[in-house]
Amino acid sequence: MNLHDLFDHHGMATNPFADEDAQTDPVFQGRCRTSTFHPNWDKVYGDPANPGTSIVFGEKGAGKTAMRLQITAQIEEFNRTHKDHGAFVIEYDDFNPFLDRFAERLSSRTRRKPTKVLEEWKLWDHMDAILSLGVTDVVDRFLNISQTSGPTGNTLPEKAVSRLDHFQRRDLLLLASCYDDSLSESFDARWYRLRHILKYRPWQSWGIRALGLLTMLVVAGTIVYLRKWSWLTTVWPWLIMALGWAPWLAQVWRWWPQAFSVSRHLRCVNRDINPLRKVLMQFSGHDINGQPLPNKRRTDDRYELLYKFQGVLKALGFSGIVVLVDRVDEPHLINGSQENMKGLVWSMLDNKFLKQPGLGLKLLLPIELANCMQQEGHDFFQRARLDKQNMIPSLEWTGAALYDLANARVEACGKEGSNPQLQNLFEQNVTSARLIEAFAALRVPRHLFKFLHRVLVAHCQSFVSSEPSWQISAATFESQLALYRRDQQAVDEGLSAGR
């Protein structure tokens, strides 16, 4: 017999345990994403209108990515009903582009050792990466890009431009000049389009260039009108034109070093010096003088730029920012190494950053880092103040919680008019108490789904289609559980040896 016949008999349209990855799991993406939550959900999610930081540790398969997707979905729904005090979501879960650019800035000797590369990664690099993701998403939406880089819940309100005053438009353009990072178009081309949409008119900058052009036209026109071609052999026409262009040349002299410094210190965002210099020269003097730029190895300027970004978002109807940090073990520079994960994550554990007003970081971290944390000294805990961060030491699942999760997935796969139950898949001597006891040993949803799928396949392979059996026996359940526990133990030992 095949699985389809078994599911059809019990009123299910699909296999509830076929997929193990939340990002591609149709059962989770459908009904379970909005109805089935971990018992610690409320502590992690908090209040989107006033987001706070949470730090969650969980082993592989415990549901960290599922929780991230659920947070994104719940905030999207929240934003739909709270137009003027929503939450702007930044998914900080793909570190490879930032780490690759960062590594390119280091010496070839340092690049050969990932541990050395990550030792150089600092808090301001995290802030640059987060600002880049957020600013790029906002610029995408102002430019009406069909596929925006951020979650769909970050939709801007109607007539978004009219919500921004002159200084907020200046701030958004300043942020875009440093952090807008699209693969589809150069940042300066996008910047000029954004300036046009925001109706930002830097009259002083235009006047400086107009003065140079006017001086050149007057000198050339005078020579042509008077037919004094011999003047071209003297120094005076060229000197007058040089004086006309002197204010513009002074701007170049001023902004080229600034552009060079920004390009050098933005280590995880690509910025070419000359396009950046041209963009910075577009601002009027009174708009750009004294404004922060990420041109030093420190967090002070980044905090000021973060305040500006929060101000722009508040005007657009977002009272807070939620940053979702996930998959820190997956970048190729880290490759599951505890030491390398520490190099990436530890710099982020700074109380000032984690408790930034209006900023909520949801750090979904591997359980290995919880063990590493216990070995840290007094200075680490003083800087991180983990007692203030809504920390969950382990994203644990009890047998009862896993039973409810499995049952919810079975119900989610039910056909219209049917109400399938997990217990009905098993014979009566496989009681719910026995299922809960067995599920507790599996620890996490990923192991649960793998095991139940294996049990279902083993049961179907034991019977022919002409003589089907619609319930799994205790013998099949127990034998498959013993086999799976043995395989699970081997995998756990292999992971421990590789740490």
**Would you kindly state where each structural domain of the chain is located, as residue ranges?**
3-16+398-497, 26-159+173-182+295-392, 203-288
CA distances from 337 to 19, 111, 182 (A): 26, 16, 30
Query: For helices 273-280 and 166-179, what crossing angle results, to 10°?
Result: 170
Scan for tokens 């200046």, then name that residue.
Answer: 170
From CA 357, how far away is CA 354, in angstroms rounded?
Answer: 9
Q: For the segment 262-299, what is each residue's pLDDT rounded down to a tens digit?
A: 999 999 999 999 999 999 988 988 889 899 999 999 99
Say if residue 248's pLDDT is above 80. Answer: no
Say if residue 497's pLDDT is above 50. Answer: no
In the prediction, which pLDDT does 286 show?
Answer: 85
Say if residue 499's pLDDT is above 70. Answer: no
Within a 13 Å sphere around the CA of 365, how many CA atoms are in the beta-carbon half? 27
Q: For the segment 159-187, what is each residue's pLDDT rounded down to a tens digit?
A: 999 999 999 999 999 999 999 999 889 99
Q: For the segment 116-134, what is each residue's pLDDT rounded down to a tens digit?
A: 999 999 999 999 999 999 9
Letter for the amino acid at 120? E
Beta pairing partners, 91? 324
In the prediction, which pLDDT does 494 show?
Answer: 66
In the prediction, which pLDDT does 285 show?
Answer: 82
Letter for the amino acid at 83? K
Coil, helix or strand for 370? helix
Coil, helix or strand for 325? strand
Is-contact 267 128, C-beta < 8 A? yes
From CA 338, how far away is CA 72, in angstroms rounded?
Answer: 27
From CA 359, how far away is CA 352, in angstroms rounded?
Answer: 11
